A and B are shown apart, each in its own frame.
Chain A
Amino acid sequence: MESILNVSKIEKYYGNKGNITKAIDNISFKVNKGEFVGIMGPSGSGKTTLLNCISTIDQVTTGHIIINDKDITDLKSKPLEEFRRDELGFIFQDFNLLDTLTGFENIALALTIQMRKPNEIDELIKSVAATLDISDVLTKYPYQMSGGQKQRVASARAIVTNPSLVLADEPTGALDSKSSRLLLESFEQLNHEQKATILMVTHDAFTACYAQRIIVIKDGKIFNELIRGNSSRKEFFNKIIEVVALLGGDMTNDI
């Protein structure tokens, strides 16, 4: 299998001498093309930090991150911006939609900044809206949408550019369980139909069980790795719950 993301021996320190936090402590893993990978861990374990490093928002202290054969730890700020624009898609916990723009415009922005042609933009948005079932809300402003709709619009914005890697940080964090399920199902669908590679951070076992593989981290280190394989979602969920219990029960689930 072709690997899209290769994280090798990265470390991330915060703070200065005398008062150092090791947010990431020697983590390595790979994500293959078309995989749907979850990252779990208790609060403060370094999930967001890891995602920020992969998404080029933050920089690693040591180690390398290779996305699509490009070592992003070597890139200068300008190619980095372009890389982020062209190769990555983001979904945030608090949606991060632009409040002044309609749904359509929010999605279109991801394409216009790539200098795509107007005709192409229209079509791409139509098709992604159909996939995520948001055709009706395209003309609405974020304040007129429900939380789940907002997150699906944000997801549409993240995948409409057909990025090599979609990064999601707690995408269901602000959603109720029904909206969460709808969103996760659409993630699954994207993963199956569009072959989108998804890396999703969560601390919620229910959300996590939609992934094919789960990397569990604790105190900045990889603690465990769970693979769903051919087991049913229910079985996978139970497996996750076990690990969560092992971790010390400071992770919640809302089932």
Chain B
Amino acid sequence: MSLIPSALARVLVLGVAALALVACGDDDEAGSAATPSASPERVSVVATTMQLQDFARQVGGDRVEVTGILGPDNEPHEYEPTPSDAEALADADVVLENGANLDEWLDDLLANAGSKAKRVTAVDGIELLPTEEEGFPGDPHVWHDPDNAKRMVDNIATGLSAANSEGRTTFVRNATAYKAKLDGMAKQIRATFAPIPADRRNLITTHDAFGYFVRASDLNQVGTVLPSVSTDSEPSGRQVRELVEAIRAQDVKAIFTEEAVDASLEKQIADEAGAEVSTSLYADVLGEPGSEGETYIDAELANAKAMAAAWAGS
């Protein structure tokens, strides 16, 4: 008797879910049809992460039309591609991926879209920080080191030139100009941290995304709330205990969140250890247009400022 309603419920649930997905697909298609298509002479570039989208616009200038896959609300580690992503890929000349297993969902997407685009992997040639995480060749969050960002920009310039040789001079010129700005950003970050004594530069973040930032700016990563370079995990009692002990032992002032939505775990840990929950950092995404983290450079500077403010005020 109980089997029948159970089976019925399952079928209904799956049916409604499928309907919902189909409905969503239609909606997305309508959305992308409304946006103007790339003019024929421009190189059509699809980029996964927001950092890559910014880099591609900086390097490509007017010669490229950049379509982004991830937005300010999409965590790259757990992204579910949509039909409109496949559509954008089908028409793309160049596909920019981060690599190092951050955006590994792109493989399936490319296969499904039947894309013939040139694939550019931004982390190529960058030495990855080691991670014990299974499935990751190394820590994928390379962009948080300005030197790595410059290498990514070079990789993008090379990739764009290969797809559009007439644009080469422009791409190289733009890349050089942007790398100068990145040098300026690195200088500003150093200046921001300069007044902070080394024993106060104790960083705790939600997930392990700031390894390169920590190395570049001489910070001390005390720990992370989620025990992973990815965001889809839950800490155990022991991991929470060890983090609380580390916060107390090293007198850490602040725990930085990443998304403002549900920071209850961060709040409990901060309460128990006698620290504060601080402003959220731009870890894997950039901010909404108009926010203080709108571009890559803005976001990195905002991160440095937030950290320095929390550490200076103690």
A and B, one complex?
A: no
Taking Cβ atoms with an 8 Å cutoff, the residues of A that contact B are: none
Chain B residues with a Cβ under 8 A of chain A = none
